[in-house]
Amino acid sequence: MDTHIVQDGENPVLRSVAKEVPKEMFGTPELTTILKRMSAALRVAKNGVAIAAPQIGEPWRIFLVSGFVITGNPRNDDDPDKVFINPSMVRQSKERVAYEGEGCLSVVGMYGTTQRSMRAMVRAQDEAGKKFIRGGSDLLAAIFQHERDHLEGTRFVDHATDLHKAKDESEVAEL
């Protein structure tokens, strides 16, 4: 399975607004293949915690969050990734925090500090098209905001400060 993650400058899809997944696409082999490719790419990424469809060259409004982030378990392949299709931000806290060490699977090795809402809530659909709402704080809230940015054609380096190459990648998360 292709696990290539599109790098900045490789494909204009990273700078494009992603398209809504139409209802006719739910339950199709095409959607299943996209989700499998996203999951496979995320699992081989050393520090990856989430991935958006444009990062594998797909123009759709989809992102996945690593299962271990959702469950709180140590990193493993047993926890299924959480699928967010056609996500929209329902709510974000006004309280913002400086999220240090943010990185991106499409800008490998570059890290910085971003200002993110401390809490966020997303409305989305699962792979079957069923709607749900999921809230999160801290890392999960930052992931929701980072992945939403990807779906809008924005990269974290567009608004991060203190951009630098990491010396110790064990202390960062690539979204």
Residue 26 contacts by C-beta under 8 Å, 6 or more apart in sequence? 85, 125, 127, 128, 129
The number of angstroms, rounded, from the C-alpha of 98 to the middle of its chain's C-alpha atoms is: 18
Structure tokens at 112: 């910085």
Domain ranges of the chain: 12-90+122-156
pLDDT in tens, the chain (175 residues): 889 999 988 899 999 999 999 999 999 999 999 999 999 999 988 789 999 999 999 999 999 999 999 988 888 778 899 999 999 999 999 999 998 889 999 998 889 999 999 999 999 999 999 999 999 999 999 999 999 999 999 989 898 999 888 776 554 566 6
CB contact at 8 A, 74 and 66: no
Instruction: Let me know if 169 is a catalytic residue.
Output: no
Residue range 12-90+122-156, CATH number = 3.90.45.10
- Residue of 72, 91, 93, 89 whose CA lies nearest to 146: 89
Q: Count helices and strands (H / E) in the chain.
A: 3, 9
Neighbours of 127 (CB within 10 A): 15
Question: Could you say which of 58, 102, 147, 174 is catalytic?
Answer: 147
Structure tokens at 140: 């999960």
- Tabulate helix, strand, coil % of the chain (nearest 5): 30, 35, 40
